Amino acid sequence: MVAFPDIDPVLLPADGRFGCGPSVVRIDQLEALFTPLLMGTSHRAAPVRSVVASLKEGLRTLLNIPDGYEVVLGNGGASAFWDAACACLISSRAAFGSWGAFGAKFATSAERAPHLAAPLIDEAVAGSLVTLAPRSAAEGVEGVDAYAYPHNETSTGVTSPVYRVDAPGALTLVDATSIAGAAPVDLTQVDAYYFSLQKAIGSDGGLWVAILSPAAIERARAIEAAPGGRWIPQFLSLSAAIDNSRKDQTLNTPALATIIMAQRQVAWLNELGGMEAVSAHCAQASSLIYDWAIAHPALYPFVAEEAWRSPVTATIEINADVKASDLAAHLRAHGIVDIGAYRGVGANQLRIGTWPSVQIGDVEALLECIDYCLERVL
């Protein structure tokens, strides 16, 4: 193992949290938990329901949600939403775009669902992506009624354009877990734009949010009401989630802290100037990292295509005799945490979160600390 130098404390960022989820939780959000009559009270009573209503309205403003689309909340995180979608949004068969761990996991959920036909999976190597195209009976493909892909693949740092697959009657389902609230999106192009709250929204885990189109709501209602249809556990019922969300509550007791902190964060993002300001901040922070890596003799961006580089999860390869995992461990010992690669992605990689709550000055300090270490061992 390379003997990295101690880092002068004056170089360290004020906040050393750069993980790609969970992400930075601001002090203001934590203080909101002490608001009287919220924590430890009924989620079906007015004080908590008012917070849920405010969160929904804030997301409607931040994401510019079209008329007719609904903000729906459920327990369990985006991983639970994959199962809910397999139960309530895919009628027969789905096609998936998979270029990383999370696109693949949704496809695996569909593959395991006994009531669905085998999914079609278009794959790309880590660091790149594919664009889904309509499938038809003329190609010998039957029954594809949903198309799914990630907006931002958290594991690889690849961002996809958001587009509707032009297939009559089919739904477009987009995993926005690690980018919702950090980059603009035209939601008319999708039927379900779903995410957890512990990334750009900067809250804790335990809930999913889905922006559902009228077509998605109609599909869920039809599947769940079909005579002699599939058995759907109430926990996975989108109809139940829709009905409860219209009342500003969830099916069962949610993680109230997650909701309270998410509401405070979304309000803050709108106060900053909304999506225009927030997306500019994330783009600036990530560009600092990509430009630094391109100029560095021992580094390069993992995602070769500039247009695909994520504004919120920057993945950087080290092409020198320095193990990225050792460097990440050394930085962790100095209070800079969670910048290791995702479970074996890349050859020798660092992965850095540049969320709305990550300050530009802290990103600059992080890069200076990495330079300080590399300059003394290379």
Topology given in CATH for the domain delimited by 27-270: Aspartate Aminotransferase; domain 2 (3.40.640)
> Would you say residue 1 has pLDDT above 80?
no
CA-nearest of 132, 136, 181, 201 to 161 is 132
> Would you say residue 227 has pLDDT above 70?
yes
Q: Each residue of 238-251: pLDDT tens digit?
A: 999 999 999 999 99
Per DSSP, 7 falls in state P
Under 8 Å between Cβ of 106 and 119 = no
> Would you say residue 124 has pLDDT above 70?
yes
Q: Cα separation of 59 and 269, whole Å?
A: 10
> Rounded to whole angstroms, what are the CA distances from 96 to 83, 188, 310?
15, 20, 20
Burial 18-54 (b: 16+ CB within 10 A, else e): bbbbbbbbbeebeebeeeeebeeeebeeeebeebbbb
CA contacts within 13 A on the Cβ side of 260: 21
Range 9-24+274-375 has CATH code 3.40.1010.20: no
pTM: 0.96
Q: Cα separation of 112 and 239, whole Å?
A: 22
Mean pLDDT of 173-182: 96
Longest dimension (CA), the chain: 70
What pLDDT score does 294 carry? Answer: 98
Same fold, 9-24+274-375 and 27-270: no
What pLDDT score does 136 carry? Answer: 78
What pLDDT score does 375 carry? Answer: 95
Q: Each residue of 127-165: pLDDT tens digit?
A: 999 999 999 765 768 899 999 999 999 999 999 999 999
Give me the sheet containing 171-175, strands edge to edge: 70-75, 207-212, 192-196, 171-175, 144-150, 93-98, 120-123
β pairing state of 152-153 and 120-123? unpaired
In angstroms, what is the C-alpha Rg of the chain? 21
> Would you say residue 371 has pLDDT above 70?
yes
Mean pLDDT of 286-291: 98
Q: Cα separation of 189 and 173, whole Å?
A: 10
Q: Each residue of 56-95: pLDDT tens digit?
A: 999 999 999 999 999 999 999 999 999 999 999 999 999 9
Helix axes 274-295, 360-375, angle to 10 degrees: 10
Under 8 Å between Cβ of 327 and 6 = no
The residue with greater pLDDT, 341 or 21, is 341
> Rounded to whole angstroms, what are the CA distances from 357 to 29, 60, 232?
11, 20, 38
What pLDDT score does 330 carry? Answer: 97
What pLDDT score does 139 carry? Answer: 75
Q: For the chain, give the mean pLDDT.
A: 96
Sequence letter at residue 174: V
> Rounded to whole angstroms, what are the CA distances from 161 to 151, 290, 374?
7, 19, 35
What pLDDT score does 101 carry? Answer: 92
The residue ranges of every structural domain in the chain are 9-24+274-375, 27-270
> Would you say residue 291 has pLDDT above 70?
yes
Q: Each residue of 326-340: pLDDT tens digit?
A: 999 999 999 999 999
